[in-house]
Structure 1
Amino acid sequence: MTLRTPSPGSTPPASDDGNPKACTGRPVQLIDMVFPGDANHHGTLFGGVALAHMDKVAFLAASRHGRAPFVTASCEKIDFAAPAREGDMVEVTGRVVRVGSSSLDVEVELVAEGPVTGERNVCTRGRFAMVARKGPDTRLPLPPIAPDESAGEAAWGGALRLAEMVFPGQTNHYGTLYGGDALRMMGKAAFIAATRHVRRVLVMASSDRIDFVAPIGEGDMVELVAQVKMTGRSSIRVAVELWSEALLTGERRHAATALFTLVSVDPEGHPLPLNSPSA
């Protein structure tokens, strides 16, 4: 199963005057589930986990814009207006809103979403200041922000797109993403896309053959593209593609493809037709 492929990203070319061309402010989005290990004793998302999600998204948005090694310099006061509870999805979106010569600001919003109800609540917003470390891999000044371009987004046909980062603890002895972590990411993307499509309690039923066609290195950004392909009586099939992106160069590679089947179930775990009233 193959989705349409966008052209690979690259370092923004210089304009005729030698300055870098403007980059679009396309947001970076991470969606995760609130599992018991991420919750505090109140059964809500632990604030430290929420801040870690927000900082990760700010870093990815900054790196994708400036193609430089960024570090977090500061963040504005962050107020938690609403909780995210166990079992909720948390959607964290970051967008570059200001660019200087060697620093930029990323505005990050964290939203809690009930998987079955679809109810959404803004939990918090924050603004992160990111600074590009000077070195041989850093091209300054940073490119300015250009108006959004919808063409690139349309190429994916409205598919769900999630971003992740490969840290040292997720790599094998070759320094590439461990296959088990890749499968976990792809399964989560399939679950989120399917749940948003039918708003039912779903469980994973099966996965078709999964081909890993390219390695993903430590420090790479991972983008997952999930799209519902078929809806049956009580099941739903979701195709997931996994892409790697080198943050300094923008080079993108298709790393894996999978097709997952999820089934709607009642409280006893029996298949529940999708056209029947929710239990």
Structure 2
Amino acid sequence: MSETRRAPSAVQLIDMVFPGDTNHHGTLFGGVALAHMDKVAFLAASRHGRAPFVTASSEKIDFAAPAQEGDMVEVTGRVVRVGTTSLDVEVELVAEAPVSGERRLCTRGRFTLVAKKDGVERLPLPPIVEAVTAQESDALRLAEMVFPGQANHYGTLYGGDALRMMGKAAFIAATRHAREVLVMASSDRIDFVAPIREGDMVELVAEVKMTGRSSVRVAVELWSEELLSGTRTHAATALFTLVAVDEFGASKAIRAPG
């Protein structure tokens, strides 16, 4: 199923801080944080302008608080200025403790991106249009990008990388819902109905469908989006079950909210 529509300029990426992303203090490397921010700025710019962008510059970026190993980092980018061939994207990086839900603004920065003049761009770039307020669902929406290292010899996303993305989205949605230490217990049958090509943006939509005594069930949709045309294609859907565990790895009851 495909659709063409103008997507909003705001883009959100959420990732986990794993040991390989940290320094000897156990906090996120600044370079990894900047890479996340630049990726989100690129995706936000591409969604707005539907042109091949490159990063031209960024303002001074100060780190106000660290992201610790085991935290989630939420990176959000919004287009805040549009010129004829360039635009600015403001990006925030927030760290979130998975179980407690404590959130810390780590840094904020502004990136300037320029549309390359290669014959496919649409210039001048479209102006910023105020979004119409609409009723939002509780679904979690995450963005990713398909790079060459994630593609097979056909130029499409590896199934394993797609599963990794969907599993991560399910984990984040379930953790935010339950605020417990969760592990993956099972996944239902997953059907890949359309390929995702190198260079596409991937959007994952994760929504909690059921909460049991110790488990959380999450549905995840995987969509691909062509950055220049805006055409979106539903690529896969899956259901994941995650279980709350104690310090010994045994299942435990999920605490009631509050």
Q: CA deviation at 1:64?
A: 0.3
Distance 1:9 1:258 in 2: 23
Aligned to 1:165: 145
Distance 1:90 1:8 in 2: 30
Aligned to 1:141: 124
Letter in 1 for 2:30: G
Aligned to 2:244: 264
Matched, 1:223 2:203: yes
Letter in 2 for 1:35: F
1:104 to 87, 104, 107: 87
Aligned to 1:95: 78
Name stretches of at least 5 consecutive residues in structure 2 with no aligned partner. none
Other structure's SS at 1:52 match: helix
Letter in 2 for 1:8: E
Aligned to 1:200: 180
Aligned to 1:21: none
Aligned to 1:80: 63
2:226 to 246, 250, 258: 246
Letter in 1 for 2:20: G
Aligned to 2:112: 129
Q: CA deviation at 1:25?
A: 5.3
TM-score (norm 1): 0.89
Matched, 1:8 2:15: no
Distance 1:263 1:109 in 2: 31
1:181 to 156, 161, 166: 161
Distance 1:99 1:44 in 2: 35
Other structure's SS at 1:269 match: coil
RMSD: 1.7
Give the conservation status (yes or no) of the 8 Å contact 1:162–1:225: yes
Change in 2 beyond 3 A, CA 1:25/1:177: closer
Other structure's SS at 1:146 match: coil
Distance 2:93 2:233 in 1: 28
Name stretches of at least 5 consecutive residues in structure 1 with no aligned partner. 13-23
Aligned to 2:194: 214
Q: CA deviation at 1:111?
A: 0.2
Letter in 1 for 2:46: S
Distance 2:248 2:202 in 1: 36
Aligned to 1:16: none
Other structure's SS at 1:164 match: strand
Give the conservation status (yes or no) of the 8 Å contact 2:92–2:109: yes
Change in 2 beyond 3 A, CA 1:172/1:25: closer
Give the conservation status (yes or no) of the 8 Å contact 1:110–1:123: yes
How much identity, in percent, do the aligned residues show?
Answer: 79
Give the conservation status (yes or no) of the 8 Å contact 2:8–2:47: no
Distance 2:59 2:130 in 1: 25
TM-score (norm 2): 0.97
Letter in 1 for 2:191: D
Other structure's SS at 1:65 match: helix
Q: CA deviation at 1:136?
A: 1.8
Distance 1:205 1:26 in 2: 35
Q: CA deviation at 1:150?
A: 3.2
